[in-house]
Amino acid sequence: MNLARFTISARDGQARRGRLRTAHGEVETPAFMPVGTHATVKACHPREVAEAGTQMLLANFYHLALRPGVELIAELGGLHQFMGWNGSILTDSGGYQLVSLGELIQLDDRGVTFRSPYDGATVQLTPQGVVEGQLKLGSDVIMVLDHPVPFGTSPTATESATRRTHLWAEQSRRVDPGEALLFGIVQGGFEVGTRARSAELIANLGFDGVALGGLVLGEPPQIRQRAIDACIGQLPEQLPRYVMGLGTDLDLLDSVARGVDLFDCVLPTRLARSGTILTARGRLSLRQARFRRDSSPLEEGCHCPACSGFSRAYLRHLYLAGEILAHRLLSLHNLWHLGELMAGTRRAIELGELSAFIDLRRRQFGQGADS
RNA sequence: GGGCGGGUACCGAAGUGGUUAAACGGGGCUGACUGUAGAUCAGCUGGCUUUACGCCUACAGGGGUUCGAAUCCCUUCCCGCCCA
């Protein structure tokens, strides 16, 4: 019944120009979602995040359930009101934490038990509980619980995690998402056949969208691209496709060309907090001594808050001095950069010029960031 | 004038006869970062070179003792506290 929530207005090759309707507005796709794990895009005011071109951001159910708690957020009017964000919110289930917090978990087919990294308390996540919890938060797009495995995991372990992911996906479907959209997640490791089978199975469970999970976990780019292609081949046209955790410029462009609609990544904000900025020519580490006296903006032609009025030298100084403003300005620059990149791809798809656009960006990127 | 305590690499600070070019911090430099336990993490930080645990210069200055000294002795200079 939620199929009409996603419409495609233009195509260019495999790429799609679409629009996802949520309870909090429309999301123009292809879109990049900044990550706000703890109900904040670190260092940035929500207004600034919106100004960077963000229509939907990601928050993390698992982390918010631990702190400050789902009930508390619900009591205070839901996640949007709680964090002062009027746009759309996609919440991740905590599936990724099975990988990132690997030593702190115990799991079986019923779900996961986490030992809280904050206070050692144990928390249980079940497929249904996770969906219900995200509903209580008032999330616009709800992710199911899944079980990703890093590159290099044995076929047996991969098989078992994938089977469990499918089992959990089926159980998740028993919860009525109401106004929210419910997205399933494909796993299957990095073997093309198992990937494709997982995609086919997930695509047939009636979700409102399909995410490709378990990627960017140590695999070489070509293997990742093959895995993405294997999945896309199994997915129906009318469902939005979301590759979880992908976020370099080239990754985004390649995936858009393969028919992916949604992305999220911690990279722009995390890199910013370690002094690295994104530019059309590549990354730039402001910590490098060569920027000490550089009076130019982070990137010529950028209209972000950091590039309007501040020099590289000043921003480098702020960063090295440990000043909070550096985190904010550099984060915003990086969000603007990806916001512009995605706006560019949307325009290019509409004009049927995506490959030219990608070629240009790729060539620029190849020039390096050293000038 | 007398007594006591100090002077260690860019800074702070360990080390009191031998695997010490010298612990540990800070600072500096370099690198990593892809559904955020991350304002985090890792490496380098006397000089030179064939980057080698090779050579040189080093623990205020000078002189000794010793197979061997940042470490022990003598002396000079400087700093701090106390007494006159």
ipTM: 0.93
By C1' distance from the Cα of A224, the closest nucleotide is B34
pTM of the complete model: 0.94
pLDDT tens, residue order, chain A (371 aa): 444 799 999 999 999 999 999 999 999 999 999 999 999 999 999 999 999 999 999 999 999 999 999 999 999 999 999 999 999 999 999 999 999 998 788 999 999 998 887 777 788 999 999 999 999 999 999 999 999 999 999 999 999 999 999 999 999 999 999 999 999 999 999 999 999 999 999 999 999 999 999 999 999 999 999 999 999 999 999 999 999 999 999 999 999 999 999 999 999 999 999 999 999 999 999 999 999 999 999 999 999 999 999 999 999 999 999 999 999 999 999 999 999 999 999 999 999 999 999 999 999 997 755 43
Active site residue A92: yes
Size (chain A), residues: 371
Half-sphere exposure of A326 (CA within 13 A, CB side): 23
By C1' distance from the Cα of A165, the closest nucleotide is B35
SS3 category, A120: coil
Active site residue A254: no
The residues facing A106 across adjacent strands are A113
The residues facing A90 across adjacent strands are A58, A141
* Measured CA angle at A247 (ends A242, A251), to 5 deg: 85
Positions on chain B within 7 A of a protein C-beta: 27-41
Cβ distance A265 to A247 under 8 Å? yes
- CA separation for the pair A155, A190 (Å, rounded): 10
